[in-house]
Amino acid sequence: MPPTNEPQQQVNNVWATQAAQADVTWTIPLPSGQVVRVKKVGVMDLLTAGIVQNFDSLTSLVVEEPIADAKKQLAGRKPKTPTKAEQEAAEKAEEARLMKVVLANPETIETMSAIADRVAVLACVEPQVALHYNPEDKDRTPIPADKRVPGKIYTDQIDFMDKVTIMSETVEDVDKLAAFRS
């Protein structure tokens, strides 16, 4: 871009901040009582793991319907700030709705399970987690017991709700991919 006489924007160093944050880990308690050290899972991690398309299909099932419903309900209304109790009730209702959507569709359960397995491997720093199947295997056939490394934690040893919690606490920026989809 050629130089102009317009006031110049201040230069910042967001990239350095993001690089420093990439190494940040934190602990989260899981529904089973296990505590794990995790790191964030960003868009590039999901692209590298080849699971972005899985997020797309899952997101379309669980997000598009409520957005359309919310737009209908809010048409012509003034927005109001919910109380803490209303916010908590709304969050519980949304969790229940999501579980209903997921459980009603076997394909959704399989997709969510596969995503949760892959995210657990990407996010868990301590203890480290390994897939219980070969990622190239579309059927997700478990690695036989005699081929597993003793003491290693495999994704089929982790409770499903623990994996969902790991996913909800660590995956970020997936919504930013919408700009690239049409």
Q: Under 8 Å CB-to-CB from 32, ≥6 apart: which residues?
A: 159, 161, 162
pLDDT above 80 (res 180): no
Domain count, the chain: 1
Quick one: average pLDDT of 29-37?
94
Structural domain boundaries, residue 175: 26-70+85-180
Predicted model pTM:
0.67
Asked whether residue 97 is domain-assigned, the answer is yes
Contact 175, 67 (CB under 8 A): no
In a domain, 147, yes or no: yes
- Predicted pLDDT at 66: 46
Any domain includes 8: no
